[in-house]
Amino acid sequence: MGILPEPVEAVLETALVSELTVVDPAGRPVTHPLIPLYDGELIYLTSSILFSKKLEHIKANPKVSLSITDPAALEPGQVARATIQGDAEVDDSDLHAGWERVLPLWRKKEPAIDFFLGKRVALPLFFERSVIEIRPRKAFLWEDGRTDRPPQVFHVDPVLA
Amino acid sequence: MKATPELIARLEERFGHAVIAYVDADGYPMSVATDFEVDETRGIVSLRAVAGDAQPPQGDRVNVVFSHIRPQPGVGYDERRYVSLWGPLRRTEGGLEFSPEDVQHWDEEEMSFFEYSERGLPQAHRYLEQVSAETGREVKPKLSFGWLFLRATRLPFLTATFVPVLLGIAVAAWTNGFNWWLALLTVVGGACIHLGLNVANDVFDTTSGADKANVNPTQFSGGSRVVLYGLLSLRTIALMSLGFYAAGIAIGIGLAAARGWDLLWLGVAGALLSFFYTAPPLKLVHRGLGEIVVALGFGPIMTLGAYFVQAQEYDLEPLLASIPVGILIALVLYVNEVPDRSADAAADKRTLPVRLSKDQVVNGYAAAVAVAFGLVVVFALGGWIVRPAIIALAAAPLALPVYRALKSSYDQPYALMPAMGKNIQLHLATGVLLILGYVIALIADGVLDDPPAFLT
């Protein structure tokens, strides 16, 4: 049991893709599909420097949201949808190898990552990566996936978070 | 980028749901999924209303995102695509109405992940500069020494040198004799010149802008990109190239001094052709002479040179044996130039695929393969090279998938990649079988008192 409500954790742990929304300098929301990783406390996303505009935006404004919306990217039978708002930090202290700390979580979602990592020489800049760490503050859950009905809203305990 | 009616019209067939993203009263982004329908005539997207705390503000500009992947259990996923639209959102009686204005999108069926990544290169460099400024130290991408050396030198392409050099040695072993040390020095010297050429090619393709203009590099084309990626500096690879040339030239001079100065002219010709392949002022590849230069350098020049080192004379037989090999290595370059042709044209490199139409390139490939193997038959049956060398014909079927791929995937660099690999195998297998032909003849001659004609 982590800091998020169990049904939210269930979709986070199985989702193959999520939508990360950041706010650009003009105040405009910008959304990026990314693989969500979760260790019970923080949500992790990794981003190659090739697609690093989102990292610049987070450094300027750490407020983000992460949605899990695609039932096709969940376990069969899962229909729930969730959105988590939180504060993000970018860890780019070691672009070359620092992100490998989340590799065990990544491997669970995308086993083929080891194959691609073995071909690192072919795509060297893709594997120069930052880690986005999201500390959740509020979660919205649509247990039946119906967003035309009000969501359950959870405030994450700031002490736990 | 502005959203086009064509892109909007395809949303329903490409995606199952929409995600509305906006900034809430606390300044946090909020995103919520909903169903959608496209009204093509009005160019708007109707969204089902969302409820409760998650309602987007009316009248604001929002981000509406459509995202799709297909899970592949136990592997990961494929069919990645997304469309991210920005525009105003307003409430209607039935729900919400969104008017798309700006768009960002990617569909891996339309743009390969490799190209998508290459197009991110300016952003990667910008980010590295920012992190460097933030940390006060230069942050650069890295690769281990071994991978970096392999990438910078394009080491696997050395088969293009090994084949003609070993063929020359094999012909000499058949006609004159064989010395291990001289053979080893010849291989090392040839490899150094080849690596010098590979790296010099990158130096000049970097300075001319040819590599930067190429957003479709493959394993076999588009250069090593080590400078473009920031893995090595231009100065470092320029020094590497000079180092390889210096070592190759030193070995060549040593072999010429030991075996005969007539070798020098061939060595000088080879080194100059290699260097001025991309180097100014000649820039032979820019003048449409690249394929001929490669055919000469990695065919007759290397084979005759290796033969001379062993035999201390020139002869017709190694020259004839080298011609099919020269044609096939030129075809390796020729096919590898197909995905590079737009970038090459932009950098004024007038390669054959730049100058010819698709049909001409495809038919030219078939004709050149036919000539290469036709010559093997004529030379072997005519006794100008050893008859067992005719076994090289066994490699010819490898050309078929290359020909088919050129016809079907001419404009798809990454679909062409397996064929590019097959084409390299065609050159390698043909060369190995020609050499094996000489080995068979040598064994037959050594074992049998009076070997039959078909074995010599």
User: Rounded to whole angstroms, what are the CA distances from B405 to A66, A118, B154, B400, B402?
Assistant: 43, 27, 24, 9, 5
Give residue B262's identity as a one-letter amino acid code.
D
Q: Considering the domain B145-455, what is its CATH architecture?
A: Orthogonal Bundle (1.10)
Residue A1 lies in a domain: no
Query: How high is the pLDDT of residue A98?
Result: 95
Query: How high is the pLDDT of residue B50?
Result: 85
Judged by phi (left if over 0) then psi (alpha if -120 to 50, else beta), residue A133 lies in: beta
- In angstroms, what separates the C-alpha of A104 from chain B's closest C-alpha? 14
Q: How many residues does chain B have?
A: 456
The DSSP call for residue B60 is: S
Query: How high is the pLDDT of residue B152?
Result: 95
Question: Residue B165 corresponds to which tokens in the numbers above?
Answer: 């050099």
- The minimal CB distance from B32 to the residues A63, A83, A113 is found for A83
- SS in 3 state form for B404-437? HHHHHCCCCHHHHHHHHHHHHHHHHHHHHHHHHH
Query: How high is the pLDDT of residue A158?
Result: 64
Judged by phi (left if over 0) then psi (alpha if -120 to 50, else beta), residue A74 lies in: beta
User: Rounded to whole angstroms, what are the CA distances from B183 to B254, B298, B310?
Assistant: 13, 17, 7
Regions in chain B scoring below 70 on pLDDT: none
Question: Residue B43 corresponds to which tokens in the numbers above?
Answer: 């160019």
**For each successive 10 residues of chain A (161 residues), what is the average pLDDT?**
88 90 95 93 96 97 94 77 96 95 92 85 93 96 88 80 53
Q: Find, in chain A, the residue whose alpha carbon is nearest to that of B123.
A: A50
Residues of B in contact with A125 (CB under 8 A): 117, 120-121, 124, 141, 229
Contact B32 A147 (CB under 8 A): yes
Q: Find, in chain B, the residue whose alpha carbon is nearest to that of A146.
A: B34
Residues B372, B438: Cα–Cα separation, whole Å: 18
First to last CA, chain B: 69
Give residue A132's identity as a one-letter amino acid code.
I
- In angstroms, what separates the C-alpha of A2 from chain B's closest C-alpha? 22
Residues of A in contact with B21 (CB under 8 A): 19, 21, 29-31, 65, 67
Q: Find, in chain A, the residue whose alpha carbon is nearest to that of B218.
A: A122
Query: How high is the pLDDT of residue B64?
Result: 95
Query: How high is the pLDDT of residue A72?
Result: 75
**How would you label B140-149 residue by residue, b for 16+ Cβ within 10 Å and e otherwise?**
ebbbeeeebe
A12 is in which domain, residue-wise? 6-155
Query: How high is the pLDDT of residue B414?
Result: 74
- Whether B368 and chain A come into contact, CB under 8 Å, resolves to no
Query: How high is the pLDDT of residue B424?
Result: 95
- The minimal CB distance from B28 to the residues A63, A110, A123 is found for A63
- The minimal CB distance from A85 to the residues B30, B33, B124 is found for B30
* CATH number for the domain running over B5-110: 2.30.110.10
CA angle B168, B173, B174 (to 5 degrees): 100
Query: How high is the pLDDT of residue B375?
Result: 98
Reported pTM:
0.84
Query: How high is the pLDDT of residue B215?
Result: 85
Block residue for tokens 């500069």? B129
Residue A63 lies in a domain: yes
SS3 call for B277: coil
- Whether B219 and chain A come into contact, CB under 8 Å, resolves to yes
Q: Find, in chain B, the residue whose alpha carbon is nearest to that of A127.
A: B141
Residue A160 lies in a domain: no
* Domain residue spans of chain B: 5-110, 111-140, 145-455
Residues of A in contact with B231 (CB under 8 A): 124
Which ranges constitute the DSSP H helices of chain A? 6-14, 53-60, 103-109, 113-118
- Whether B142 and chain A come into contact, CB under 8 Å, resolves to yes
ipTM for the predicted complex comes to 0.92
Contact A65 B31 (CB under 8 A): yes
- In angstroms, what separates the C-alpha of A40 from chain B's closest C-alpha? 22
- The minimal CB distance from A151 to the residues B53, B76, B231 is found for B53
- Whether B27 and chain A come into contact, CB under 8 Å, resolves to yes
Q: Which of A39, A38, A34, A87 is nearest to A64 (CA)?
A: A87
Residues of A in contact with B130 (CB under 8 A): 56
Residues B379, B382: Cα–Cα separation, whole Å: 5
Residues of B in contact with A139 (CB under 8 A): none
Contact B151 A121 (CB under 8 A): yes
Burial of B125 (0-12, 13-18, 19+ CB in 10 A): middle
Query: How high is the pLDDT of residue B138?
Result: 94
Residues of B in contact with A148 (CB under 8 A): 34, 48-51
- The minimal CB distance from A29 to the residues B23, B52, B150 is found for B23
Residues A73, B330: Cα–Cα separation, whole Å: 47
Cβ neighbours of residue A63 closer than 8 Å, sequence gap 6 or more? A23, A85, A87, A88, B26, B27, B28, B29
Scanning B229-258 for CB atoms below 8 A from A yields 229, 231
Q: How many domains does chain A have?
A: 1
Q: Which of A31, A34, A43, A33 is nearest to A4 (CA)?
A: A43
Residues of A in contact with B229 (CB under 8 A): 124-125
- SS in 3 state form for B194-231? HHHHHHHHHHHHHHHCHHHHCCCCCCCCCCCCCCCCCC
CB B217 within 8 A of CB B223: yes
Residues A23, A30: Cα–Cα separation, whole Å: 6
- The minimal CB distance from B30 to the residues A27, A48, A65 is found for A65
- The minimal CB distance from A121 to the residues B121, B130, B150 is found for B150
Residues A109, A13: Cα–Cα separation, whole Å: 8
Looking from the CA of A3 toward its CB, the CA atoms found within 13 Å total 21
SS3 call for B335: helix
Q: Which of B170, B176, B7, B189 is nearest to B87 (CA)?
A: B7
Cβ neighbours of residue A132 closer than 8 Å, sequence gap 6 or more? A20, A44, A45, A46, A47, A54, A55, A58, A64, A88, A89, A90, A91
- The minimal CB distance from A65 to the residues B29, B68, B71 is found for B29
Scanning A26-85 for CB atoms below 8 A from B yields 27-31, 33, 48-53, 55-56, 63-67, 69-70, 72-73, 81, 83, 85
The DSSP call for residue B134 is: H
Residues A138, A136: Cα–Cα separation, whole Å: 6
Q: Which of A123, A121, A157 is nearest to A139 (CA)?
A: A157
| CATH number of the CATH domain containing A14 | 2.30.110.10
- In angstroms, what separates the C-alpha of B97 from chain A's closest C-alpha? 15
Contact B54 A19 (CB under 8 A): no
Query: How high is the pLDDT of residue B288?
Result: 87
Give residue B202's identity as a one-letter amino acid code.
D
Q: How many CB pairs under 8 A join A and B?
A: 191
What is the sign of the dihedral through the CA atoms of B378, B381, B385 and B387?
positive
- In angstroms, what separates the C-alpha of A45 from chain B's closest C-alpha? 16
User: Rounded to whole angstroms, what are the CA distances from B255 to B243, B245, B261, B276?
Assistant: 18, 15, 9, 23
Question: Residue A54 corresponds to which tokens in the numbers above?
Answer: 């989102």
**How would you label B24-47 residue by residue, b for 16+ Cβ within 10 Å and e otherwise?**
beeebbbbbbbebebeeeeebbbb
Residue A161 lies in a domain: no
- The minimal CB distance from B21 to the residues A31, A128, A138 is found for A31
Residues B393, B378: Cα–Cα separation, whole Å: 12
Q: Find, in chain B, the residue whose alpha carbon is nearest to that of A154.
A: B53
Q: Which of B271, B269, B264 is nearest to B248 (CA)?
A: B271
